[in-house]
Structure 1
Amino acid sequence: MMERRIALLFAGQGAQCVGMGRDLAEHFPVAADLFGQADEILGRNLSNIAWNGPIEELTKTSNCQPALYVHSLVSLAILREIAGDFPVAGAAGLSLGEITAHAAGGTFDFGTGLKLVQRRAEFMDQACAATLGGMAAMMGGLENDVRQLAGD
């Protein structure tokens, strides 16, 4: 019989929401521990921003990327705690999630990955500040509406 293996897929920026991880930290010591480690490593209260917002603060790249990284690895730690050791076929991620996938796969430890994510976010903030422009996403809608919003 072939062994069943699990593929891990980690989210990128945009999956954040105020309150993310609070319930996990309240019910799972490993979650509270990882959020606490993140606060200590970063030298700021990231967990408070993730758990209480406001959304305008959480959506800043310098906050949402580390928060998503931590939340994803918290979720994996809880899964491992509940399900035990399970075979992993591979790990992948979308953008920021690629770094999370490396941490999950053991390329580097939690703290090293968190520092990398924080530097990445700082570089992205600097690049955005130095460049005029913007980005938007539209879910659904008609082609004409999209063209009008984009200015043809």
Structure 2
Amino acid sequence: MSATPHPQTPVPDADLAAPCRQYSWTPEVHDLYGDPESILDKMDSHNMELTERRIFVLLTESENRARIRFFEQVKGKEYAVSAWTGETLDGAGAAIGDAILKNKGVNCVGEQVRGLLAGFPMAAPTTVPAPANARAAFAHTVRAHGDGTFTRATFALLC
């Protein structure tokens, strides 16, 4: 994928790397619903380009259980993964969509979402190798809601 921003892209912060500029202009948020295995099967049909992104987030929520996994590339092919678990996301998924819309592709959308999620006390990050695919990155967290549990998974593909 070309690192050239969309022709109508506002002039972003000069300190942003070209891929960050491109993906801040074209972020994606996907909500999938169902039991964990159905969500993972649906997720497999999406090309999320995770290794092309510096920051991406998974939010999962079912009755009385919520999780956040914040992935950030730290060096080469390694990502720091910060985690939070609690009872509810309190609308964090919708707030991410609102933050993206307000950002209008101008600033680093990953940093904008990091600030938005600052209210969730994340555990210290663990460094992991770049995921081979979305299933490798997200399956454990989605499945943690339990077999047959109706769940929402929100995949925010940021910069």
TM-score normalized by the length of structure 2? 0.23
Larger radius of gyration: 1
Between Structure 1 and Structure 2, the one with more helix by share is 1
TM-score normalized by the length of structure 1? 0.24
| Higher RCO by CA contacts (8 Å cutoff, separation 6 or greater) | 2
